[in-house]
Amino acid sequence: MKDIMGMMKAASEMKGKMEAMQADLANLVAEGRSGGGLVVVSLSGKGEMKGLKIDPSLFKEDDVEVLEDLILAAHNDAKAKSEAEMQQRMSEVTAGLPLPPGMKLPF
């Protein structure tokens, strides 16, 4: 019975930490760059695109495909950074909990 009470307390503490972390992630902004900084994409911690900056030198009619590729690359870079930050913060919140290997939170 003592172990169950300890687990309940740990789960309650983790819930509070998760809520605080989610609030922090809402304010997180990750920047992804491509083309040596010619295209910059900003994403929130939840993956919403918050900003897009394109160097004016890329606005040439024959470079549309290159520009599209650079935007995709910058977006993917920002998303990877955002996800890495989320994983790192999640591991801090769940540190010490007996979770099975490979289990990711939130579910």
Confidence of residue 107 (pLDDT cuts 50, 70, 90): very low
**How far is CA 23 from each of CA 4, 11, 72, rounded to the nearest angstrom?**
29, 18, 27
Question: Looking at the DSSP assignment, which residues form a beta bridge with residue 33?
Answer: 40
Mean pLDDT in residue range 61-81? 84
- This prediction's pTM: 0.56
Domain boundaries, the chain: 28-93
Q: How far apart are CA 34 and CA 73, in angstroms?
A: 6
Q: How many residues does the chain have?
A: 107
Residue 105 has pLDDT above 60, yes or no: no
Mean pLDDT, range 58-78, rounded to an integer: 83
- 98: pLDDT confidence band, cut at 50, 70 and 90? low
Mean pLDDT score, 73-84: 86
| Extended beta strands in 37-102, E state | 39-44, 49-54
What is the per-residue pLDDT for 36?
Answer: 92
Phi-psi label, residue 52: left if phi above 0, alpha if psi -120 to 50, beta otherwise: beta
pLDDT higher than 60, residue 104: no
If one looks up domain 28-93 in CATH, what number appears?
3.30.1310.10
